[in-house]
Amino acid sequence: MLNMKQKQALTQAIKKRYQSSNRNTKSKILDELIATTGYNRSYARRLFNNHLKTGRKKIRKSRVRIYDQPVLTALKTVWMAADNICSKRLQPFLPELLGFLERNEEIKIDDKIRQKLITLSCSTIDRLLLPSRRRYQLKGRSTTKPGTLLRHAIPIRTFADWNEKQPGFFEADLVALCGDNVGGGYVNVLDLTDVFTGWVTLEAFMGKGQFMIHAGVNSIRQRLPFLMLGFDSDNGTEFINGILLRYCEGNQITFTRIRPYQKNDNCFVEQKNFSVVRRFLGYIRRETTAELIVIQEMLKLIEDYVNFFQPSLKLKSKTRIDNKTKKIYDVAKTPFQRLLDSGILRPDIKQKLLDYYHSLNPMELRRKISKLNQKLDQLHRYNLVESTNT
């Protein structure tokens, strides 16, 4: 029985004779090789027809690179202006966002690069930005304490019950900036998210008392460009109380609550807690008045940035097929775009919002938010030094 080196030498010896022979002769040569080496017939045929074994290297034609470094640089700028969102959210909003950056002289590109950016697919965006992506690992603690006194007066609403086709129905939650210690006083952020449009409104205050929540909800309601029709919260005592119940009844707001220990019933606002509040403010403990003032200033900028320049996907349908679930989403739009498409705005309010929208600069908003974040970090380090010295 021949070893591998002997088989290879035999194959190379009769290869040229095989390639120059006619069909009948080739068949006989294959028979001889198979009988001698034990090769499979198809494998032996491939060895004879393989021109790479002759020592010649295969010449590969290099592809012309369409999306070169200038395109990648411009894409990174737009991606950073959109807060590093995924390609499926970025791609539909890219032409409009690019126009904002050019008008505010945040980016300078020629027509060729602009055309390439506009025609980018989602998969190409993911491929180009893959080396630049960073993963964030965040964690926190829950501070919700169940309230039981008024549960019978407030109906339960689950995640499957949200079928409103107009803006105005809000999910509410409280985000605690307490670090790993829930004791003492610290800053809380009230997050209200509209189910239909994804419009986000935020209020920060010290503590989590009922009067604070009432004042925050009233402040948000007064500055909304549309009516608040529904209010859905968790079962914490800060929400389930007579003050808020009477406020909702007096202003014709439908007040509902989620099932106990079922956070998915509040899925819309829970998602915004992470992608908005935690993304910009993190989990560090904030417990001073100076920090609260900075956070309140920052939240105004965050609202504008998220509502006008952060497109999101909205689930259209979900179908269960065997053991798999098929989900279909609509085209990514910003909350402002969904609000305009709803057609509920009065002409004067719509024009006011449009004028305000065109006056904004997403990169300038990001710079201001970043500066305030740096100021928060300085205050936090100062607080750590003070606590160490005392």
Q: Report residue 122 CA to chain centroid gap.
A: 14
pLDDT score at 175: 93
Tokens of 345: 């705005």
- DSSP secondary structure of 255-267: EEEPPTT-GGGGH
| Secondary structure (3-state) at 252 | coil
Residue where the block lists tokens 């904002």: 100
Q: Is 210 exposed, middle or buried (CB count within 10 Å of its CB: 0-12, 13-18, 19+)?
A: middle
Residue that is written with structure tokens 């320049």 in the block: 309
Domains and CATH numbers, the chain: 4-54 (no CATH), 69-132 (no CATH), 151-389 (3.30.420.10)
**Locus of tokens 């919700």:** 144
Which value, to the nearest 10 degrees, does the dihedral of the CA atoms of residues 281, 238, 272, 253 take?
Answer: -140
Q: Are the beta carbons of 291 and 379 closer than 8 angstroms?
A: yes
Q: Which pLDDT value is given to residue 136?
A: 36
170 beta partners: 194, 231
Per-residue pLDDT 10s for the chain (390 aa) are 678 888 888 888 888 888 888 888 888 888 888 888 888 888 888 888 875 444 555 666 677 778 888 999 999 999 989 988 889 999 999 999 999 999 998 999 999 999 999 999 999 999 888 887 754 344 444 455 555 545 556 667 665 565 678 899 999 999 999 888 888 889 999 999 999 999 999 999 998 889 999 999 999 999 999 999 999 998 888 898 889 999 999 999 999 988 888 888 888 899 999 889 999 998 889 999 999 999 999 999 999 999 999 999 888 888 888 888 888 888 999 999 999 999 999 999 999 999 999 999 999 999 999 999 999 988 888 777 665 665
SS (H, E, C) 196-232: CCCCEEEEEEECCCHHHHHHHHHHHHHHCCCCCCEEE
Which burial class, exposed, middle or buried, applies to 56 when counting CB atoms under 10 A from its CB (0-12, 13-18, 19+)? exposed
Position 65 scores a pLDDT of 78
Residue with tokens 């607080």: 383
Torsion of CA 114, 118, 123, 128, to 10 degrees: 20
